[in-house]
Amino acid sequence: MSAEAARAAELLTQLSNPVRLRAFAGLVARGAEGFSITEMSFLLDMTKPEAGEALGRLAGLGLASGSGDGYYRAKPEVLREAAQALVGTLPIAPLLKEYPQLKGYFTHGYLTSLPPTLSERYEQIAELLARFLAVDGVLTEDEVNKRIAVVAEDVAAVRRMLVETGWLERDRAGTTYGSGRIFVPAG
């Protein structure tokens, strides 16, 4: 497991505690004003030591900051940064850096929508996914589907797009696939 994945897992594990999650949500909702331990104990209907423990854990994780005035404030950017770092470890991430114009079609490294069929972006996504699949030789439909499923839910639509754009060639029986075009890097 990468350091980014371990950090994200630790944050999520700690936030899976209902008291900590409610405390964090309360801090986020309160914004820059923050909460004191007394106010948090009232908000969460718990003792001051329990509220102090929850706020202390959040501060220890970097999800909250405590100040000299006795108030805690949320630092939600820490959670966002952990999520972004985790997304950077996903298999499609290196290729998406080369196609920044396509990032809007992906959520957390997963293809969530396709552009219109005859658009330039459709061709670009097909090229990106063909590079990701790295078909070398002949693959069965099941092998192609498994590779596509790593980055897209609608496997059939992506497979069809790759065939339509010429990046994959399907045999007449429709059971095996091979590379239809060769990627030539720009430059």
| Token pair listed for 40 | 């948090």
pTM over 0.85: no
Average pLDDT over residues 84-95: 83
Query: How many helices (H) and strands (E) are present in the chain, helices listed first?
Result: 9, 8
Residue 161 to residue 20: CA distance in whole angstroms: 45
Q: What is the pLDDT of residues 161-174, one digit of tens each?
A: 999 999 999 998 88
Q: What is the pLDDT of residues 8-48, one digit of tens each?
A: 889 989 999 999 999 999 999 999 899 999 999 998 898 99
Residue 185 to residue 187: CA distance in whole angstroms: 6
Write down the pLDDT at residue 113: 92
Q: What domains are defined for the chain? A: 3-81 (1.10.10.10), 91-179 (1.10.10)
| Token pair listed for 19 | 């008291």
Length of the chain counted residue by residue: 187
Write down the pLDDT at residue 186: 55
Taking alpha carbons only, the member of 8, 7, 17, 74 closest to residue 40 is 74
Query: Look-up: residue for tokens 């309360």?
Result: 26
Any idea what DSSP says for residue 31?
Answer: G
| Token pair listed for 5 | 């994945």
Contact between residue 29 and residue 20 where contact means Cβ atoms under 8 Å apart: no
